Structure 1
Amino acid sequence: MDNIVIKQPRLYTPLQIGLGSFVGGPIAMVYLLWQNFKTLGNQNGTQYTLAGGILFNVGLLLLLPQLPSNFPSIVIPFVYSLTALSIAATWQMRRDAIQHSVHYRFQPNWRVLLLSISLLIVWLGCAYGLGIWLDALGIIDLDGSAITAGKDELSF
């Protein structure tokens, strides 16, 4: 009866959110930020994160096929990961605040890695599905034959 266990909620650190977003893609970014806001009891933060995250993910899925082929692929994940890290550091708890808190603990790094990998698979599935759908509608051409045919027609 003397063993009273108080369960401390776990938070992701800003660095975990930044790295998890970079590895796991934009869905991981939204999930990690949303989970921290939920744990902190910030209802507005959870709502803004979900609404903004859905818009960002859909917008990114629609933008990616339009980027030129020589666009450096590392730029977009780098920018949204830094943004997620900044949001977490500004509106959530920093690592040292979590460490000195009597109410919260750290999420384990293995959880961040497993979530990131799982959500990366979800992101890739969404991107692939959108690509197939846009190809079926004739908006983009995944096999590239229309692009090469267009180049051949323009040569003199």
Structure 2
Amino acid sequence: METTAAAETHPSRDAWTSHLRSHGRRVTKQRLAVLDAVDAVPHATAEDTVQQVRAVLPTISVQSVYVVLSDLAAIGMVSKFEPPGSPARYEIRTGDNHHHAYCISCGVIQDVPCAVGHAPCLTPSEDHGFQLLSAEVVFRGICPSCQHSGAQQDPEAP
């Protein structure tokens, strides 16, 4: 799986430890290993994360990694998004309301800055009285590499 992400500074272990403790979580080797894995491979699936974590903790169960990912997403330490026709993906980059471009041919994912201004960065025609906090957008297309190689995909395919 190929992914790309903007180069930027990610939180330190001290920041992760603080965040975990401030949300009533223990700092465990499993949580830190999952954070390291998601930091190392942005836009990874849970299965990709399991493989990364098992390089450090060979006996960790698949279920444990899923539970940790879910908990980390719940407390805002990782973000989860679901590209069309693909398993959920996870990344450390949170809180900036960025979006994603997804290649429908090869599955590569690129981060895309917020479309306009500040969060939620998109204005719906009707907000139904909601105080809107964020917007999730997945731009579907064909990446430059697939365009160059002549890869063809039905534009209506998921």
Does TM, normalized by the shorter one, top 0.5?
no
Which of structures 1 and 2 has the bigger CA Rg? 1
Higher relative contact order by CA 8 Å / sep ≥ 6: 1 or 2? 1
Name the structure with the higher strand share: 2
Q: Report the TM-score when normalising by structure 2.
A: 0.27
Q: Report the TM-score when normalising by structure 1.
A: 0.27
Name the structure with the higher helix share: 1
